[in-house]
Amino acid sequence: MKKVFCVGELLIDFVAENQGSDLSKAIKFTKKAGGAPANVACAISKLGGRGIFIGCVGDDPFGRFLLDVLKAESVDISLTQLSDTFTTLAFVSLAEDGERDFVFSRGADRELDYDPLLRKTFKDNILHLGAATALLGGPLEKTYSKYLFDALTKEMFISFDPNFRVDLWKDEEETFIKKCMPFVEKSHLCKFSLEEAQLISGKTDPEQACDFMHEAGAKIITITLGAEGTLLSAQGTKKVIPSISVQPVDTTGAGDAFMGCLLHQISDLGNFDPVFEQFDLLEKMVEKANRAGALTTTQYGAIAALPTKEQLEL
């Protein structure tokens, strides 16, 4: 089984209780562990895979809480760094349909330093780049690009999820697109929401968005479509893979559960050739990943709601 190195942010989600999507009216918040790449690492480990998190948290009670959560999920945190900067916080509100609204207070996640010694362990493994805060400047952004270069030289399977957040990129969407493109060009697997695919490609039609991403260099593309399932595009074929019907209460982490489940299946293959050659295999993988994402929306919180291997097989 391949190792999956997940690079990016680990943070506190303060989830507003008993209110809709207007954070200004929120009074009570529940503390949850969050951060897209950390969620992916947890999803992989929870399914029995080898999830490794590379990121930075504050040397404070919140940072220690986050590390304890990852350890409890059997994520390898040996490469996680501690900073004197306070742990990054996100304030999250939930509407009745489970959709989210974010406000960030950025901190230690940006302080991740590059470690050149990691190249020795990268060979033939998987690198997942979840970009919610990684392209906002600071040491993390430089580190992110260096690990992409290392992954290319060590023949890793590279996956990329832009994790666009409106609050982080208000009036800076063009900058976001420009910074995403080198990762789209170099990644073997790209996962987008419909909004992200349309934004980055400039195409309204999701199939045309896929064509744009393929022309840029992406080999395998998934566009998550909520209850409709996922558009899979690879090897010259496009198909919407249906999901299962659930009653969502919190969509936080659904995309990360999808990504983690998909990467876990790829890591379990032994070599990466089949995903580039067998569309039917990819289709089955995405179908299973859809179930993982859907099940995650039926509970509150991202990491706590991630399904186990046994839950996926029910």
42-68 pLDDT, tens per residue? 999 999 999 999 999 999 999 999 999
Residue of 305 and 219 predicted with greater confidence: 219
Residue in 103, 88, 99 with CA at minimum distance from that of residue 26: 103
Three-state secondary structure call for residue 61: helix
DSSP letter assigned to residue 21: S
Contact 106, 133 (CB under 8 A): yes
- Residue 156 backbone zone (phi > 0: left; psi -120 to 50: alpha; other: beta): beta
pLDDT in tens, 130-146: 988 999 999 999 999 99
Q: What is the pLDDT of residue 207?
A: 97
Q: Model-level pTM greater than 0.85?
A: yes
- CA 304 to CA 190: how far, in whole Å? 25
Q: Which residues contact 37 (CB under 8 A, 6 or more apart)?
A: 6, 7, 8, 9, 10, 53, 54, 55, 128, 129, 130
